[in-house]
Amino acid sequence: MVADAMELATRALLEANLGLAEQVITGDERIDDARSACEEQAYALLALQAPVATDLRTVLAAIHAAESLERMGDLALHVAKAARRRHPAPVLPEPVNRYFAEMGRVAVQLARRAEEVIRSQDVAAARAIEDADDEMDDLHRHLFTLIMNKEWEHGVASAVDVTLLGRFYERYADHAVSVAKRVVFVVTGRMPGTVSDDDL
């Protein structure tokens, strides 16, 4: 759901398409409902089944992943709302369109890979998502450099829009990485990025 939301939101942004923006905005409630249902089931399992070991890790990871996925939906929603707010005018100045097209592609790809990792529980694929996030970080940094350039001729308001939208895409990718890390935690019992006894 969140990959589709960002794909539509990116198209709405690049095409100044009000219909697509509205589709993302109205669809956000389904993502919120899915998170609520996931959390309710997880809390019921904690209360009624008292899971341990891998089962406990799975339940806890599901709670955190549901939160990250819901935030990804919210970030797609923010992109769609920006497209709606400026309609019929485009939000983005033409020179940054290609960056947002690429950021949208990377974001959707990361979300789809995170969805697959949840299903497959593939640790190597989960760890590869973090490496793929580097591409988003590079795009975000380059975008920021572009708007800070003294030759930027699209005004302050446009620079603010580009900055905020770039941040939405970057955070979206970070949440996809967070979901992947939770899968690694479920399978291995270790959260990536934390110090283990073996590291001491």
C-alpha 121/C-alpha 131 separation (Å) is 17
Q: What is the pLDDT of residue 197?
A: 43
Preceding peptide of 192 cis, ω within 30°: no
Q: pLDDT tens digits, residue range 59-115? A: 999 999 999 999 999 999 999 999 999 999 999 999 999 999 999 999 999 999 999
Q: How many CB atoms lie within 10 A of CB 66?
A: 21
Q: pLDDT tens digits, residue range 153-189? A: 999 999 999 999 999 999 999 999 999 999 999 999 9
Query: DSSP code of 16?
Result: T
C-alpha 34/C-alpha 43 separation (Å) is 14
Q: pLDDT tens digits, residue range 100-148? A: 999 999 999 999 999 999 999 999 999 999 888 999 999 999 999 999 9
Nearby residues of 28 by Cβ (< 8 Å), 6 or more positions away = 5, 73, 74, 76, 77
Q: What is the pLDDT of residue 193?
A: 77
Label residue 196 by pLDDT band (50, 70, 90): low
Which pTM value belongs to this model? 0.92
Q: What is the pLDDT of residue 198?
A: 52
Provide the CATH topology of domain 2-191: Methane Monooxygenase Hydroxylase; Chain G, domain 1 (1.20.58)
| Mean pLDDT to the nearest integer, 24-42 | 96
